[in-house]
Amino acid sequence: MPSDATRRIIDASRAALDAALDAGRRLTDGGKGIDEHQVHAERLAYAATEVAAAEALSGYAGGIGDATTDAMAAAFAAEVADRLRSRIEGHREDFGVSDAVMAKSLGDGDVQKAIRAAQHEARFRDIGREMIRTRGVNNSPIDDVGLMARDSARSFARKEVAPLAERIHRHDELVPDSIIAKMSELGYFGMSVPEEYGGQGMGNLVMVVITEELSAASLAAAGSLITRPEILTKALLNGGSEAQKKKWLPPIAAGEIMCGISVTEPDTGSDVAAVRCRAERGEQDGKAGWFISGAKAWCTFAGRANVLALLARTNPDPKAGAKGLSLFIVPKDAFPGHEFEMKQPGGGVLHGKADPTPGYRGMHSYTLAFERYFVPAENLVGEAAGEGRGFYLQMQGFAAGRLQTGGRATGLAQAALETTAGYAAERKQFGRSIGDFQLTQYKLGRMATQVAAARQLSYAAARAMDEDEGAALQAAMAKLLSSDIAVAVTQEGQLIHGGWGYAEEFAISRHVVDALVLPIFEGVKPILELKVIARALLGER
């Protein structure tokens, strides 16, 4: 059980939030009018996400009986409650929470006293000192399976990925095949593939734990390699025919085929239902199939990938919207460089060119042009029955991807915490280690607390998905909060490094630019808040 004070703070936040969500449902007519109240809907989505994280961290702390984790749970809950109260007070009419509810919850004198005590700067400084002592290393208790997975992933990531991470980033290299081969051996590409299809069937929690360790060593050259197979695996499990599962899942699990996910187009991003890339039914050399024509953008790993999971319009009637889209598995050759062209014997062409980015280097993200590129009929996910179901399957795949991104973001933030705790212990100014200064301790304490909250929200989402694969709300919340925390924690860590935080030879400068991409992909932050989280929270129950 969490401490009484933490429990009281969280209960008060939950009561105020639930009242605000009820009022939000009325205001938006059960979510139908979110677009007429976008700003308020975003506030509700974010507050609900933060309260869920406070609950996850305090639930975890209550079960392990560790003083630092207890302090983190209390401090995080207090900051969330303080922000929620200030948001409600600042926009009282919008939130629609009555005086009576506020007086009994976040406005209650004892609750406010508990909030002040729990978020007192001295509490954060205690946590920060502990981080300096332990160099921020994550040894948080976890069950035996999780522990084994964490130890083995950490050892691989530190020995084999970390030494290459800086070079890959600075020279914008492609992730070497040696990393892919070792990850294949360890079974990391088949974590969500059931054993009957050659996978590990490890479940979502272990997948997140392993992702964290890989991402701490390198976001793009290790942690993110798993995202694409996770998305395609979930799409195939949800909508693939039995023959497709048998054909594609074993080589995905074995790491024999690398995947890219191709949804975004130059002019179509968030409005996925408006995808324009066309798939026209046809025949080539007596084989039935589809000709793909059109442009795609930001397809990560498209060069090295052996297959692209591509969302294309099979029904040309624009009124068909999302129902006119189908998901294809598009085979291609693997190319190592930043640009490639693939010519099919029948005349189809696929051209790809990587768009340079400040971070997230190692996989390259490509703009693609398809010209009558032939794909056999059996590669439409779900075969004939899958026509028109691509949007739905892609969204289910994205839910899995978002959960994995909770792990990616937590791992990256963890790396920033560790490198910063080490730096603070060693760097001396004014005759003292900078970690001896109160403000550094306070900042490290807040960084560690936020990382712990991101981790426990991601684990809670993984457990929810282990129980019910449809737990898309929890996965979206984990992605939203962990990504923001990764951005905040890497930037705070950079400041603690001073000028050296801006030097490429210090890992923190890479962590900062890598983190910036996290709130953008798999549903850019405002879309995730409005179209996924707010919609799920405010929709009719």
Ligand X SMILES: Cc1cc2nc3c(=O)[nH]c(=O)nc-3n(C[C@H](O)[C@H](O)[C@H](O)COP(=O)(O)OP(=O)(O)OC[C@H]3O[C@@H](n4cnc5c(N)ncnc54)[C@H](O)[C@@H]3O)c2cc1C
> Measuring CA to CA, which residue among 268, 247, 267, 272 is closest to residue 257?
247
Residue 365 binding ligand X, by CB under 6 A? yes
Least separation in angstroms between CB 522 and ligand X = 6
Q: How many residues of this chain interact with ligand X, rule: CB under 6 A?
A: 19
Residue 138 binding ligand X, by CB under 6 A? no
Judged by beta carbon, residue 56 or residue 222, the one nearer ligand X is 222
Residue 360 binding ligand X, by CB under 6 A? yes
Residue 520 binding ligand X, by CB under 6 A? yes
d(CA 514, CA 219): 7
* DSSP, residue by residue, 387-449: TT-HHHHHHHHHHHHHHHHHHHHHHHHHHHHHHHHHHHHH-EETTEEGGGSHHHHHHHHHHHH
Residue 328 binding ligand X, by CB under 6 A? no
d(CA 534, CA 269): 19
Least separation in angstroms between CB 261 and ligand X = 4
Least separation in angstroms between CB 262 and ligand X = 5
Q: Which residues are marked as active site? A: 522
Residue 263 binding ligand X, by CB under 6 A? yes
Q: Which of 241, 293, 306, 357 binds ligand X (CB under 6 A)?
A: 357
Cα-based distances in Å from 30 to 22, 58, 503: 9, 30, 50
User: Parallel, antiparallel, or unpaired for β 307-313 and 325-331?
Assistant: antiparallel
Tokens of 28: 């938006």
Judged by beta carbon, residue 263 or residue 538, the one nearer ligand X is 263
d(CA 373, CA 350): 7
Q: Which of 76, 188, 298, 374 binds ligand X (CB under 6 A)?
A: 298
User: Parallel, antiparallel, or unpaired for β 259-262 and 307-313?
Assistant: parallel
Judged by beta carbon, residue 127 or residue 263, the one nearer ligand X is 263
> Measuring CA to CA, which residue among 366, 380, 367, 231 is closest to residue 313?
380
Query: Taking CB positions, which residue lies at the least distance from ligand X?
Result: 269
Q: Contact, 72 vs 448, CB < 8 A? A: yes
Least separation in angstroms between CB 526 and ligand X = 4
d(CA 17, CA 91): 14
Least separation in angstroms between CB 388 and ligand X = 19
**Which residues fall within 8 angstroms of residue 382, CB to CB, at 6 or more apart?**
239, 240, 241, 244, 327, 389, 393
d(CA 471, CA 477): 10
Q: Which of 146, 223, 269, 445 binds ligand X (CB under 6 A)?
A: 269
Residue 270 binding ligand X, by CB under 6 A? yes
329 strand-pairing partners: 309
Which residues, numbered 36-65, are part of the site for ligand X (CB under 6 A)? 38
Residue 405 binding ligand X, by CB under 6 A? no
> Measuring CA to CA, which residue among 310, 342, 340 is closest to residue 327?
310
Taking CB under 6 A as the binding criterion, the range among 129-137, 181-189, 294-302, 454-462 that sits at the site for ligand X is: 294-302
Buried b (16+ CB within 10 A) or exposed e, 199-220: bbbbebbbbbbbbbbbbbbbbb
Q: Which of 1, 467, 524, 539 binds ligand X (CB under 6 A)?
A: 524
> Residue 296 is which amino acid?
K
Residue 264 binding ligand X, by CB under 6 A? yes
Taking CB under 6 A as the binding criterion, the range among 280-288, 456-464, 481-489, 522-530 that sits at the site for ligand X is: 522-530
Residue 262 binding ligand X, by CB under 6 A? yes
Judged by beta carbon, residue 421 or residue 517, the one nearer ligand X is 517
Least separation in angstroms between CB 366 and ligand X = 9
Rg of the Cα trace of the chain?
24
Least separation in angstroms between CB 90 and ligand X = 21
Angle at the Cα of 40 (from 39 to 42), degrees rounded to 5? Answer: 70
Buried b (16+ CB within 10 A) or exposed e, 531-540: bbbbbbbbee
Residue 261 binding ligand X, by CB under 6 A? yes
Taking CB under 6 A as the binding criterion, the range among 24-32, 98-106, 264-272, 420-428 that sits at the site for ligand X is: 264-272
Residue 528 binding ligand X, by CB under 6 A? no
Judged by beta carbon, residue 146 or residue 352, the one nearer ligand X is 352
Taking CB under 6 A as the binding criterion, the range among 25-33, 132-140, 452-460, 518-526 that sits at the site for ligand X is: 518-526
Residue 33 binding ligand X, by CB under 6 A? no
> Residue 32 is which amino acid?
K
Judged by beta carbon, residue 3 or residue 365, the one nearer ligand X is 365
Least separation in angstroms between CB 267 and ligand X = 8
Taking CB under 6 A as the binding criterion, the range among 154-162, 338-346, 375-383, 524-532 that sits at the site for ligand X is: 524-532
Least separation in angstroms between CB 363 and ligand X = 8
Return residues touching ligand X (CB under 6 A).
Answer: 38, 261-264, 269-270, 298-300, 357, 360, 365, 517, 520-521, 524, 526, 530
